[in-house]
Amino acid sequence: MTAAGTSVQVKLLDPRFGDQWPLPNYATESSAGMDLRAALDAPLTLEPGDAALVPSGISIYMHDPQLCAIVLPRSGLGHRHGIVLGNGTGLIDADYQGPLLISAWNRGQEAFVIQPGDRIAQLVVLPIVRVSLQVVDTFTDSARGAGGFGHTGIR
């Protein structure tokens, strides 16, 4: 389900979409991301520590400067098989129109084979807030202050 009036243009770069593979879509009514597939011509083996740019077979154009998209790993692949994104998160600006590539990285201990059409990442569209920076000498006090990593403890 999309918000009223919100749409993103998609260009299909691989003819298997619509025939062998469905277009990226939301798996459930409450899904935040759409799965991206590996538009490969042949299986790709990622040995432990290997990374590869995997084509998604699509490009998108959001046009609206108040939107961006992020490419995120699929949690099951990361937890069970060690397949995450080589760059952590991919950011797609609203004016980008090129192919979406997925930086797949095997941080696991065993080789992993990506088959053509496998769902290997997800695409999430987010609103953007642009801010102006105001230079100050000190900040207004906050409850957290400068407390950094782990400052509230574990329990």
pLDDT at 5: 58
Could you tell me the residue ranges of all domains in the chain? 9-127
**Model confidence pLDDT, tens digit, residues 5-30:** 588 999 999 999 999 999 999 989 99
pLDDT at 3: 56
pLDDT at 70: 97
User: How would DSSP label each residue in 13-59?
Assistant: -STTBTTTBPPS-BSSTT-S-EEEE---SS-EEE-TT-EEEEEEEEE
- Which listed CATH number (3.40.50.1820, 1.10.10.10, 2.70.40.10, 3.90.1150.10) goes with 9-127? 2.70.40.10
Please state the pTM of the whole predicted model. 0.85
pLDDT at 132: 96
70 annotated as ligand-binding:
no
pLDDT at 50: 96
Structure tokens at 121: 């990442």
142 annotated as ligand-binding:
no
Task: Give every CB contact of residue 116 below 8 A, 6+ residues apart in sequence.
Answer: 16, 38, 39, 40, 41, 42, 43
76 annotated as ligand-binding:
yes
pLDDT at 152: 74
49 annotated as ligand-binding:
no
Residues of the chain falling short of pLDDT 50? 1-2
pLDDT at 1: 40
pLDDT at 144: 77
74 annotated as ligand-binding:
yes
